[in-house]
């Protein structure tokens, strides 16, 4: 299954035979609200199951960061409750820049489920395409997915630091947070020494559609990525960095590592250095 699916293709799939219809996960979430569950109740793709970032797509915040990876057993329980079945397609969407949907895409891939795609353009594109919406909560048949962690590479802090020296580590945060000019959430400002700033907002256009593979490939080349070079990504808490991993895959660089704890994990340890300014350091 390709990483992206158009609204037209999703509508056609949902109109197909029952056994062939994808499970659709609504993962709308906003740091400053309103809650995604409220948006879901106001309208969603018919049959979509609301899936909360904080409760399902991440574990409890703490030493591992603000959005650490969930416990595999918990994730399996929640994905089964959403109707996810072994080998069956899953489509995920948000209503912003695709980054939360990318986190769901990455997490399912990490869990060993390859049949997953992000809805290109998200909920806004679904509405703009004139497709139907529903206010009825989904009641899926329980799925049977077995979560098998390891389907996508995960970096710990030491591996992220090494990659920043010996490969390419991309920092997905907005430039003022990378430079250390501001840090509204985490304990310290700055970035991992050697990391290159690659704000995740550049992966999508003004309408929320993902940029063409050749555009993304050119962007990563401009950031210094060479063919065959090891590459990974981090952000504030491991969510928006997932969109870097997805963008890299679209650009032909599959298998990028994700530092899941990201800056919210790194900055908790006063022994780990922090670089500031526009240069990697």
For residue 274, CA distances in Å to 3, 106, 194 come to 34, 27, 10
> How many CB atoms are closer than 10 A to CB 31?
10
Our CA dihedral for 61, 247, 223, 275, rounded to 10 degrees, sits at: 0
d(CA 263, CA 237): 6
Catalytic residue among 4, 163, 225, 235: 235
**125 contacts 119 by C-beta, under 8 angstroms:** yes
Q: In what order do the strands lie in the sheet with 23-26?
A: 4-5, 116-119, 90-93, 23-26, 49-50
Active site residue 235: yes
Beta strands at 231-234 and 257-259: parallel, antiparallel or unpaired: parallel
Rounded to a whole number, what is the distance in angstroms from the first to the last CA of the chain? 39
> Known catalytic residues?
235
């Amino acid at each position: 299954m390709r990483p992206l699916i158009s609204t037209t293709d999703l509508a056609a799939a949902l109109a197909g035979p029952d056994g062939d219809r994808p499970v659709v996960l609504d993962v709308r979430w906003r740091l400053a609200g309103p809650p995604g569950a409220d948006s879901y109740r106001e309208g969603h793709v018919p049959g979509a199951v609301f899936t909360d970032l904080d409760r399902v797509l991440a574990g409890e915040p703490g030493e591992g960061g603000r959005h650490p990876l969930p416990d595999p057993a918990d994730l399996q329980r929640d994905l089964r409750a959403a109707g996810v079945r072994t080998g069956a397609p899953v489509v995920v969407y948000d209503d912003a820049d695709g980054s939360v949907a990318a986190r769901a895409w990455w997490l399912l891939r990490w869990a060993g489920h390859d049949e997953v795609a992000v809805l290109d353009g998200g909920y806004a594109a679904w509405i703009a395409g004139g497709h139907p919406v529903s206010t009825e909560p989904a009641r899926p048949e329980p799925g049977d997915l077995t979560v098998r962690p390891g389907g996508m590479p995960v970096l710990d802090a030491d591996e992220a630091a090494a990659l920043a020296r010996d490969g390419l580590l991309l920092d997905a945060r907005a430039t003022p947070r990378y430079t250390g000019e501001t840090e509204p959430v985490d304990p310290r400002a700055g970035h991992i020494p050697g990391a290159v700033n690659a704000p995740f907002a550049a992966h999508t256009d003004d309408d929320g559609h993902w940029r063409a593979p050749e555009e993304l490939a050119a962007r990563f080349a401009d950031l210094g990525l060479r063919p065959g070079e090891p590459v990974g990504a981090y952000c504030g808490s491991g969510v928006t960095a997932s969109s870097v991993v997805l963008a890299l895959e679209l650009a032909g660089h599959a298998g990028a590592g994700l530092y899941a704890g990201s800056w919210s994990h790194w900055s908790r340890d006063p022994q780990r250095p922090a670089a500031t300014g526009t240069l990697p350091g």
